[in-house]
Chain A
Amino acid sequence: MSGFLTVENLAVKVGSFELSDFSFEIAEGECLSLMGPSGCGKTTVMEAICGLRNEWIQAGEICLGGEEITGLPAGARGVGLVPQDIVLFPTMTVREHLEFGPRLHGWRRKAIAERVEGLSEGLGLGDLLERLPQGLSGGESRRVALGRALALRPSLLCLDEALSGLDEARHEEVLTMIRGMIEREKVTTLHVTHSLAEARMLGDRILEMG
């Protein structure tokens, strides 16, 4: 395998759920939509790639940008995550969300300010920067979560059910925004979904599980 992200013979066990010998790859800059019915293990695979479920991995290898990351802690992988349940930090403003990663990694103040400005412009968050998550709509929350995940310029962006919980009227708007940001940031993306329409709109390629 020679992709930017390669998952080889991954075996994961969570309680009674077992996934074995699962392999796939994503080329650099590509957006892969990983599809499958509920309970087939899409999110588990994504969380294993993010480093959140290292204790569940029984066998296999995950490589990102040519380096093996299978045993690395989540924070050392350079993988940004937009989880299905968004989980914005309730005590932080939108600006603090965008600054969170760069501040943690000791970026200089000017670099942080430039990054926040760029992201807020791309995501249309300019007027919302001082707001707390409680004052945001579903679509706005998603944009903030995407900005937070992209702030550190991750090697891989993981999107878990990007449209879950959104009303249908907002689907296209949010998908267009996500697609635009992926292209603008030129970030390799793994998108997990159970919706074929969503997968077709966002993914360059679709991989079906289960």
Chain B
Amino acid sequence: MSELNQETQKIWKVRPEWPFLLFLLFVVVSYLGLVLLMLGANVLSVSWSEVGQILQDPAIQHSIKLTFVTCTATAILSVLVAVPLGYLLSRYHFRGRAFLDTLIDVPILLPPLVVGLSLLILFNRVSLSEGCWVLAVGLFTAAILGAFGGDRKGKLIPVVLAGLAILVALAGVFLRKEVGSLEDAVGEVGLPVTFHPLGVVLAQFPVAAAFAIRTMKTTFDQISPRYEEVAMTLGCHRGQAFGRVILPMASKGMIAAGTMAWARALGEFGPILIFAGATRGRTEVLSTSVFLEINLGNLSGAAALSLLMIVIAVSTLLLVRSFLGRGGSV
């Protein structure tokens, strides 16, 4: 065959793909191997009698109940916040949007102990009036940032933010006589937070909500704005288009966001320990139970609780995944 014929031959030579497949296999086996070994180590170090024994402990039973209640409350709260915030970030373009976007990730990036400490300081060292002032300054700064630039649809946001800033500042002036902390204020209305079960929810909330917001933003990004536009030609205002068309379409995303928040809340430890404490039979949840058992020198008990947490986390994820696999749009 001549040189020219070799260059123009009809069947091209393609390099084999097995090195690439081998690379993929190596990465998958390495990572999954580590995860499975971790889970296996837990299973091997625990006997079923120990699991049964620890499950009969009234303190642990209380811890399991509180874990379910607080994780569910945190997940519901997170979705309630994530839906409007995710929609705002997905659909509206305004100055300061990038700042807001970054701010949402801050709880994820902060060391967990710092989240707990910040909550502790906020509720116990800052007066209600000071809290209002700080919030008003934050809202007003956001309103000024948003007033310049962005599209017409987003122009309403700075006005709303400025209005909120004024209201919060007025509340600060009104509450000036209050010398007590935020904890005193919530305590007076019968909802003590620090070192109380409600504090567990508040400690779980910042990080769980951040994950839920990210999930909801991705969900809304995947839904074309054309759906709202068509709904609006049929007589909907944006709110109706959101409620009647977009929200039903985003139902799977909402379940995913709730699951993500629930699972994240289940694993939360640092902020709970600092802000709500780990008092047996009061503010103890499964993650702090593991910590308490280790502190008591009961390593097998801690391993049994870890195994229980693994079972709960895996079955929750499998249950939701199987549900998400059926019907729906996003």
| A residues with CB within 8 A of B | 50-52, 54-55, 73-77, 79-81, 83, 85, 87, 89-92, 100-101, 104-105, 148-149, 151-152
Contact = CB atoms under 8 A, between A and B. Distances in A.
A80 B233 contact: yes
A87 B235 CA distance: 16
B240 A104 contact: yes
A85 B226 contact: yes
Given A104-B235, A104-B236, A74 B249 contact: no
B245 A52 contact: no
B58 interface: no
Interface in B136-191: 151-153
Given A90-B329, A104-B234, A74 B229 contact: yes
Contacts of B232: 51-52, 73-75
Interface string B214-241: 0000000000101101111111110010
16 contacts: A51-B232, A52-B232, A52-B233, A75-B235, A77-B233, A79-B233, A80-B234, A81-B230, A83-B230, A87-B227, A89-B245, A89-B249, A90-B249, A100-B244, A148-B234, A149-B233
Nearest to B151: A55
A83 B226 contact: yes
B235 A105 contact: yes
A148 B230 CA distance: 10
A149 B229 CA distance: 12
A165 to B, nearest CB: 14
B194 to A, nearest CB: 43
A92 to B, nearest CB: 8
Nearest to A104: B235
Interface string B235-257: 11100100011001101000000
Contacts of A79: 233
Contacts of B153: 55
A164 B235 CA distance: 26
A152 B249 contact: no
Contact of B234 (A73, A83, A90, A152): A152
A33 B169 CA distance: 57
A83 B235 CA distance: 16
A84 to B, nearest CB: 9
Max chain A CB contacts within 10 Å: which of B151, B232, B236, B248? B232
Contacts of B152: 54-55
A80 B151 CA distance: 25
Nearest to B232: A74
Nearest to A91: B248
A74 B233 CA distance: 5
Nearest to B224: A87
A126 B234 CA distance: 22
B224 A100 contact: no
A35 to B, nearest CB: 23
A76 B236 CA distance: 9
Given A76-B235, A80-B233, A83-B226, 5 more contacts: A50-B233, A74-B232, A89-B227, A91-B328, A104-B244
Contacts of B230: 81, 83, 87, 148
B250 to A, nearest CB: 10
A78 to B, nearest CB: 9
A105 B240 CA distance: 12
Contacts of A87: 224, 226-227, 230
B164 to A, nearest CB: 25
Contact of A73 (B226, B237, B329): B237
A147 to B, nearest CB: 12
Contact of A52 (B151, B224, B229): B229
A75 B236 contact: yes
Nearest to B241: A75
B94 to A, nearest CB: 13
Interface string B291-330: 0000000000000000000000000000000000000110
Given A52-B229, A55-B152, A75 B249 contact: no
Contacts of B229: 52, 74, 81, 83
Given A52-B229, A81-B230, A104-B240, A91 B235 contact: no
CB-CB nearest 8 A-B residue pairs = A91-B248, A55-B152, A75-B235, A90-B329, A74-B232, A101-B234, A81-B233, A87-B226
Contacts of A54: 152
B77 to A, nearest CB: 25
Contacts of B245: 89
Contacts of B328: 91
Contacts of B151: 55
Contacts of A91: 248-249, 251, 328-329
Given A83-B226, A104-B240, A75 B233 contact: yes
Nearest to A55: B152
A105 B227 CA distance: 18
Contacts of B248: 89, 91-92
B226 A75 contact: no
